[in-house]
Amino acid sequence: MKLKNNTSIIIILIHIIAIIGIFIITNISIITIIFQFILSVLSGLSITGGYHRLWAHNTYKANSLLEIFYLIFGTMATEGSAILWAKEHRTHHRNEEKPGDPYNINKGFFHAHIGWLLVPSDKIEIEEISKTDVSDLENNKLLLFQDKYYIMIWINLFIFTCFIMKLWNESIINIIFSNIIRIVIVLNITWCINSVAHTIGEKSYNNNIKAADNSLLGILTLGEGWHNYHHSYPKDYRASEKDKRNFTTFFINLTKRYNLSYNHYYNDNNNIPNNERFNTTFYKILK
């Protein structure tokens, strides 16, 4: 199999290291487990609330403090820079399940989950990604800084995380492997949106697409599991109906309360029949 780039090699290696780590880690501290869980939540939240809803879809606006929070923990999620992530994701929505979709589910479950990161993109995908407009993000100095120095930022954050864990005398072996395992778990949970959420679940809003609402993924991904809804209303900052238990939406609402975010777009067409909803774009702004 021809690999896509050096990132493909890294993805394969960290998965191998994570599997090895499961058998090597011993006498791990409960503090380490709690710490890694917190980092998993914060990095996952930064992908859902920052990379996805804020930057890829511009569903709301955030001040610099919130953006820095998203960039720090988004980098720790190890999913690339926010600009590249949003560029590929916007391409996915524009070419949904058609040629040019970077993680097209019609190419198979494995391709949508991780294969698209391992094997070279085809000609149409390369062309579609290249013409996706992210000029709005490239005008953001914080995003440009992260994009330019992504590897260096990631390395420093990894080292800093290891240093913190030494404060409670965790072993070096446990520190390294627990960090890699946490990264692999967060990556695969994110990728499940591209694979599982395009395969298993209900289609209450648009039967013409494969994106599906999956309540279990709604929990695991902190609110991104209602994917049929999201693909029907990609501009809704909640990414689900308002009555769903959506941790990321709860967090975004909390940031609004403390004036860290504003101009939240939300869908307001609940009286429209299900089979017609996806053809509408009725949005209001919650300031």
Torsion of CA 17, 18, 23, 24, to 10 degrees: 60
Beta strands per DSSP E along the chain: 61-62, 261-262, 264-267, 283-286
Tokens for 88, please give them: 């590929």
- The pLDDT value recorded for residue 281 is 53
Task: Give the per-residue pLDDT at 277.
Answer: 43
Which residues make Cβ contacts (< 8 Å) with residue 159, sequence separation at least 6?
none
DSSP strands (E only) in 99-195: none
Overall pTM > 0.75: yes
Tell me phi and psi for residue 267, to 5 degrees: -75, 140
The pair of structure tokens assigned to 163 is 């240093």
- Residue 283 is predicted with a pLDDT of 58
Task: State the pLDDT at residue 275.
Answer: 41
For 235, phi then psi, to 5°, come to -90, -5
What is the rounded distance in angstroms from the CA atom of residue 45 to the CA atom of residue 244? 17
Q: Would you give per-residue pLDDT tens digits along the chain (287 residues)?
A: 677 888 899 999 999 999 999 999 999 999 999 999 999 999 999 999 999 999 999 999 999 999 999 999 999 999 999 999 999 999 999 999 999 999 999 999 999 999 999 999 999 999 999 999 999 999 999 999 999 999 999 999 999 999 999 999 999 999 999 999 999 999 999 999 999 999 999 998 999 999 999 999 999 999 999 999 999 999 999 999 988 989 999 999 999 999 999 999 988 765 443 444 444 455 567 66
